[in-house]
Structure 1
Amino acid sequence: MKKNITIIAFLAVILMGGCKKYTDLTPTGSLLVENAQDYYELVSYPNRAYLISNFQYLVDDMWMKESNFIGVTPNINTVHFSFNENIDRVSMITSSNFYDRSYVYINRWNTIISLVDGSKGDDNVKALAKAEAKVLRAFDHFLLVNVYAKAYNAATAATDGGICIMDKYDLEAQPVKSSVAEVYNFIQKDIDDALPYLQAQPADPYHPSLAFAWALKAKVHLFKKEIAQAKQACEKSLGYNNQIFDLVNYTTKQGGPSVTPIIAPNNPEVLSYMYIQGYNETNFGYTWIISPELRELFGTNDARFNMFFNTTSASFLDIGSNSAYYSIFYTRFFYPTVGLKTTEVYLMQAECLAREGDLAGAMAVVNKLREKRILSGDIILPVPATRKETMDIIINERRKELFLGFNRFMDLKRLNTEPEYAKTVVRKYPLVNKTVPQQTYTLLPTSRLYIIPFPLNILKKNPNLTLNTDEKLPF
C-alpha cells in the first residue's frame, strides 16, 4: 500500500497543538516513503535537538552572567535562577521548543510504527524499523514526563498528573493526559517490545542500538527505583558497548582537541546521538556557564574541566565569580550533553551496586571511570564506610560526567523523593557586582518549580490539558 508521505513533510510537522491533535501532513517534496527500507531510513534523524531554555537554571550546576540578571525585566530564566515561587510561570512560557519538538519526533516515530507494516519490502526490515521507532518514542516520552510532571514515586504515581501519551499515527487523535504511572508503563512496554528486534551495530549512529535500548531501560528502572532490574539492564548494555573514551591519554599523549579532533559522531562511548541545539551546539558553549559549586567539584586535576572549560574571558562570564564556560569548538571535540553514553551506564551500575550495599563493587566501577578522567592526585578513591558517602561520590561523578544538558535537573528531581539524598539548593548572588545587595536564593526539594508548566500556547489549544502544578492560568 503506497503512502504519499514525504520526508520533508515530516520535518514540517511543527506545533501539533499539544495533546489535542496532530496537524495535517502536506506532501511537499518528491521523495516518497513507500517501502520498508524507506521507513527504516526515516528513523535516522541527524540533528535531533531538545532545547532546555525553559528549565536549565533549576539546578546547582548552571550559572548566569550578572548582567543578564541584574536590572533585567523578570523572565523565565531569572525566575528560575532566583528560585522564585511567587510568580505563576505559565504566562512566561508562551511556547516551548522542547515540548513541541519532542512531540514532533513522537509523531515521526508513530508514523513509522503505524504505516511500515503496510509498506512493500522485507518483513525483517519492517520489524527493525518499528522497533527502533518504538525505543525512540519511549525516549521522548521519558523526557517529557520528567520535565512536565512529578518525579516517579511509587506511592503516588498512579494519581500524579503526567503527560499525554501519543501512541498512534492518527490525524484526529485527541488523547487525554495520563498519569505518571501510565506513562512509565507505556515507556517500559515500548522498550520491551523493541528489544528482540534491535541490532548491536545499526546502520549509523542515529539509529538506536541494543546498547542504547538497554541503557534506556536501565534508566527507566533506576528512576522507578527498581534497582535489580536497572542493574541487570546496565550489564546488558555494557555487554554491547563498554568503551570509555580515555580523556587522560587524549590530553597527555594525543595532544587534545587542537591536535586530534573528535567530532560527532566519532566518540565511541556515545550510544545514540542527539543534541541540545544541534550538531554544532558547542559553538555556543560560552552561553552555558557552570556554577562556582560545580567548578569547585571538578577541582584542578580533572581532564573534563581542564580541557573543555575557560575561566578567563570577561566577555562571557564575571571574573571573580569562580564560574566557567564550555569553550571548545565543535569541530575540535564534541562532548555529548544529551542522550545516553556508556559512562552514564557505568554510573547507573555503580548506583545500583551502592543501593544494594555492595560499596566495594560500586567504587570499583567509579574508579574505572576516574582512571580515564582524572589526571593526577587521588585518582583511585577508597571505599567509604557508608552507603550515603558512596552515593554522594556517585552523584557528584554524575554531575561532572553529565554536565550541561538536562541530566542534573532530572537527577535532582528523582533524588529529592528520598530524604537521604534530597538537596536544598542554595545560591548566593551576585558575587561580583557591589552595587546591589547580595541575596540568598533557596530551592527546596519539594518546590513546585521542579514541575515545568505546559506551554501557554498548548494549554490554550487544549482545555483538557491541565497543569501539574498549583499555578494559575492567565485566561
Structure 2
Amino acid sequence: MKSFRLVLFLCLVGVMSSCDKFLDIRPTGRVIAETGEEYRALLTTEYKNFPEDRGLVSFRSDEMTLDASTTSSEDLSAFFDLWAWNDQAPQATTVSLGWRRYYHAIYIANTLIANRYTMTQISEPDRRQLVGEAYMMRAYCHFLLANLYAPPYTTVRPDTARAVPLMLSADVNLVPKSSSLAEVYTQVERDIDSAAILMNKVEWPTGLNYRFNTISAKALKARLALYQADWTGALAAAQQVIAAHPALEDLTLSSALLPTSYKSAENIVALEQVMTPTYARAGRVSDELLALYRSGDRRKAHYFNAVSSTTTLLRKGGGGEQHSTFRSAEFYLIAAEAAAQLGSLAQARDYLKTLMKKRYTAAFYTLHATAVDALSQADLINYIYDERARELAFEGHRWFDLRRTTRPLLQKTYGTNTYTLAPNDRRYTLRFPTEALEANPGIEKLEH
C-alpha cells in the first residue's frame, strides 16, 4: 500500500471449534453482509479479535518487573523494549500494539452504521441494539487510540494537540490525517450518546456479556470525563453506573469470585482479556505495587500468588474466566475521585469506604476507614490514586492513570542496568507505528 488505507477483511473464518464457550464465535463466512445475522457475525468477529493493548501497556507502568532468572528469552525479546521504554530503536521482535486492529474494528462499525437501514431479517429492537453496539465499538476504539498515541488531555490545549485519525465512514480509499484531541474526545462522546439512544440491552446473558449494553455507555462516559478532569461529568456518569449496577464481590468471603471474572457480579462488559496468558507469564508483580497493600486487605491474596519470598505471580490474568472491560468497582473509585476533587469529601469517603468494606477484613476495615475519615482533601485524593492501583491492578488502568495524573519519575532495573522514565517524559505517549508513518507520511498532520 502506498498510502495508509484501511482494508476490510471480510473473508471471515469458519467455525472456531477450539473457542471457549465464553467467546464461541461462529461467523457466517459470507463476504457481503445483508441480514442482521450476518452483520452480527461481522461485529462478533471484531469483539473476538479486540486488541489486548491495555494489558500490554502494563509493561510500561510500575506494576510489572522483568527478571533474568524467571523471564524467558522469548518473552524478553517480545516485551523488554516496551518495559524499558525503548521506543526509539526497539528490537524487530518487540510486540506491536493493535493499531490496524482498532481501525479494522472501526471500519466494521462504520459499515454497520452506514447500512443500519438496509440490513434484512432483523427485528427493530435487535437492529437498534446492534447499531448501538457499533457506535460503542467506534467510540471505544477511538478513545483507546487517543490515550495510547496522543498526549494526556489535561496537559495540552486539546483543540490544537495532535491526536489520531478520526475515521467516520466506511471508505477504504481514505488517506487520513490526524484530528485534534478535542475533536476525538467530542466525537467519542457523540458516539456514546448515539449508542445510548439506540441500545436496549441492560444486561447480556453470561457468555454473551462481551457485548456492549446500556450501562456500558454510562461507563465509558464516566471514564471519558475522568480523563478530561471533568469532575462534575465524571461524578454524574459514575453515579448512574452505580445506580444501575451497584454489585461488588465480597472478598472477605472464601466463595467470592475474582471481580475480573466474566461471571462476576461486578461485570458490566467483559470484552477484553487484558492480561493474556503470555503477558501474565512474562512478568512478575513489582515490589512497589505489593507494598501498596495494607494489613487486612484481602485483595493481595485474591489477586496474587506469592510462590516464593522474591516472586509473586498474577491470579487476575492468564486467560480462563478473566475478561473485564467495565466492572462496578471502577465507578465507585471514579465517583470518589470526582467528589474529592469537587471538595465533597464526605461523599468521596462514602464511595471509597463502600468499596473498602468488601475488600478488607472487618477489624482492619474499621481501622482504615477511620484513617480515611481523617484525611485532608489532598491526602484523600492521593489515597484514592493508591486505591485505584490496588483495586485495578493489571486491568489496563495503571499506565493511563499515571499519564492523566502526575506522570512521575519511574525507574526499573534489569541486571546491572537501570532504565529511567523522567517526569513528564514524552514517552508517556506512544509514537505512531512505523508502518503507518511509512505508508502515509502525512498521517500525523492535523486535518484542517
Aligned partners of 1:290 and 1:324 also within 8 Å: yes
Unaligned runs of 5+ in 2: 15-27
Equivalent residue letter for 1:363? R
Q: Aligned equivalents of 1:50 and 1:243: distance in 2?
A: 27
What is the match of residue 247 of structure 1? 251
What is the match of residue 175 of structure 1? 176
**Deviation string for 1:317-338 (max 9, x for gaps)?**
xx53xx521147868x7344x5
Question: Is 2:112 the partner of 1:112?
Answer: yes
Aligned partners of 2:61 and 2:398 also within 8 Å: yes
What is the match of residue 57 of structure 1? 59
Match for 1:364 among 350, 358, 361?
A: 350
- TM-score, with normalisation over the residues of structure 2? 0.83
What is the match of residue 7 of structure 1? none
**Inter-CA distance 285–441: structure 2 relative to 1 (3 Å threshold):** closer
Q: Aligned equivalents of 2:342 and 2:260: distance in 1?
A: 38
The offset of 1:447, in angstroms, is: 0.4
Counterpart secondary structure, 2:364 = coil
Equivalent residue letter for 2:221? K
Q: Aligned equivalents of 1:196 and 1:372: distance in 2?
A: 34
What is the match of residue 282 of structure 2? 287
The offset of 1:80, in angstroms, is: 4.5
Q: Aligned equivalents of 1:283 and 1:403: distance in 2?
A: 17
**Inter-CA distance 357–123: structure 2 relative to 1 (3 Å threshold):** same
**Deviation string for 1:327-369 (max 9, x for gaps)?**
47868x7344x51111101100111110011112111111111
> What are the residue-to-residue correspondences of 1:399-438 with 2, within 5 Å?
399-416=389-406, 422-427=407-412, 429-430=413-414, 437=416
Match for 1:334 among 321, 330, 341?
A: 321
What is the match of residue 308 of structure 1? 303
**Inter-CA distance 375–440: structure 2 relative to 1 (3 Å threshold):** farther
Aligned partners of 1:231 and 1:352 also within 8 Å: yes
The offset of 1:277, in angstroms, is: 6.0
Aligned partners of 2:175 and 2:440 also within 8 Å: no
**Deviation string for 1:29-85 (max 9, x for gaps)?**
65543223543465445544423376333212211113478999996843454456x
Q: Aligned equivalents of 2:93 and 2:159: distance in 1?
A: 27
Question: Is 2:297 the partner of 1:265?
Answer: no
Match for 1:373 among 349, 354, 359?
A: 359
Counterpart secondary structure, 1:244 = coil
Percentage of pairs with the same residue:
24
Aligned partners of 2:109 and 2:134 also within 8 Å: yes
**Deviation string for 1:295-321 (max 9, x for gaps)?**
1112453222212322225xxxxx53x
Aligned partners of 1:111 and 1:169 also within 8 Å: yes
Equivalent residue letter for 2:105? Y
Q: Aligned equivalents of 1:399 and 1:98: distance in 2?
A: 25
**Deviation string for 1:240-293 (max 9, x for gaps)?**
2111111212x2xx3x67xxx999531121111122468xx3586333422101
Q: Aligned equivalents of 2:353 and 2:165: distance in 1?
A: 41
The offset of 1:92, in angstroms, is: 5.4
What is the match of residue 383 of structure 2? 393
Q: Aligned equivalents of 1:150 and 1:233: distance in 2?
A: 24
**Inter-CA distance 378–37: structure 2 relative to 1 (3 Å threshold):** same
What is the match of residue 460 of structure 1? 438
Q: Aligned equivalents of 1:414 and 1:453: distance in 2?
A: 17
Q: Aligned equivalents of 1:43 and 1:50: distance in 2?
A: 14
What is the match of residue 325 of structure 1? 313
Aligned partners of 1:144 and 1:163 also within 8 Å: yes
Q: Aligned equivalents of 2:78 and 2:445: distance in 1?
A: 17
Question: Is 2:349 the partner of 1:347?
Answer: no
Counterpart secondary structure, 1:297 = coil
Equivalent residue letter for 2:424? T
Match for 1:235 among 212, 224, 239?
A: 239
Counterpart secondary structure, 2:268 = strand
Q: Aligned equivalents of 1:18 and 1:277: distance in 2?
A: 31
Q: Aligned equivalents of 2:142 and 2:112: distance in 1?
A: 16
Aligned partners of 1:210 and 1:237 also within 8 Å: no
Counterpart secondary structure, 1:442 = strand
Q: Aligned equivalents of 1:448 and 1:403: distance in 2?
A: 24
Equivalent residue letter for 2:430? I
**Inter-CA distance 208–17: structure 2 relative to 1 (3 Å threshold):** farther
Q: Aligned equivalents of 2:2 and 2:106: distance in 1?
A: 13
Counterpart secondary structure, 1:266 = coil
**Inter-CA distance 288–372: structure 2 relative to 1 (3 Å threshold):** farther
